[in-house]
Structure 1
Amino acid sequence: MSATPREHTRTYYLGKLATELEQRGLTAMLRSYPPALRISHPDTIMLAETIDCVPLSEGWFFRWSWGELVGLADDPALAAERIVHVLAARR
């Protein structure tokens, strides 16, 4: 089964987010199908979150596992800051 153009776009944006998160000390593992990131803090593996990427009429957005939007996929640095902030509050 080959990936669709939409899956390639998701993977591209999630890869950029993974880089930003890893620069901030988090672990980000890309799940291939459906494309999503499994994010955790290396010191607290039990605390993990899944982020996916969805197209909406305003563009592509990162989204929490519970459906709330994290931020625009075009700004992975800002999305990474929000994710780090939320995960830090849960530790």
Structure 2
Amino acid sequence: MSATPREHTRTYYLGKLATELEQRGLTATLRPYPPALRICDPDTAMLAETVDCVPLSEGWFYRWSWGELVGVTDDPGLAADRIMHVLSGR
């Protein structure tokens, strides 16, 4: 089964987010199908979350597992900051 162009786009954006998260000390593992990131804080392994990427009429967005938007894919640094905030409980 080959990946669709949409899956390639998701993987690209999730890779950019993974880089930002890893620079902040989090672990981000790409799940290949459907593309999503499994994110956890290695210091508190109990806290983990899955984030995927979706196209909307306004562009591509990162999205929490419960459906709420994290942020626009054009600013993965801001999305990473929001994820850090949620996972740290601050």
What's the TM-score bracket when you normalise by the shorter of the two chains?
A: over 0.9
Corresponding position: 1:42 with 2:47: no
Q: Give the secondary-structure state (helix, strand or coil) at the position aligned to 1:46.
A: coil
Q: Percent of aligned positions with the same letter in both sequences?
A: 84
Q: How large is the Cα RMSD of the aligned pairs?
A: 0.8
Corresponding position: 1:76 with 2:72: no
Q: Number of residues paired by the alignment?
A: 90
Which residue pairs with 1:12 in the alignment?
12
Greater strand share, structure number: 1
C-alpha separation in 2, matches of 1:21 and 1:73 = 13
Which residue pairs with 2:58 in the alignment?
58
TM-score (norm 2): 0.98
Q: Deviations over 1:5-60 (max 9, x none)?
A: 00000000000000000000000000000000000000111210000000000000
TM-score (norm 1): 0.96
C-alpha separation in 2, matches of 1:30 and 1:46 = 19
Which residue pairs with 1:86 in the alignment?
86
Where structure 1 has 5 or more consecutive residues not aligned to the other structure, the ranges are: none
Q: Give the secondary-structure state (helix, strand or coil) at the position aligned to 2:66.
A: coil
C-alpha separation in 2, matches of 1:58 and 1:66 = 20
Where structure 2 has 5 or more consecutive residues not aligned to the other structure, the ranges are: none
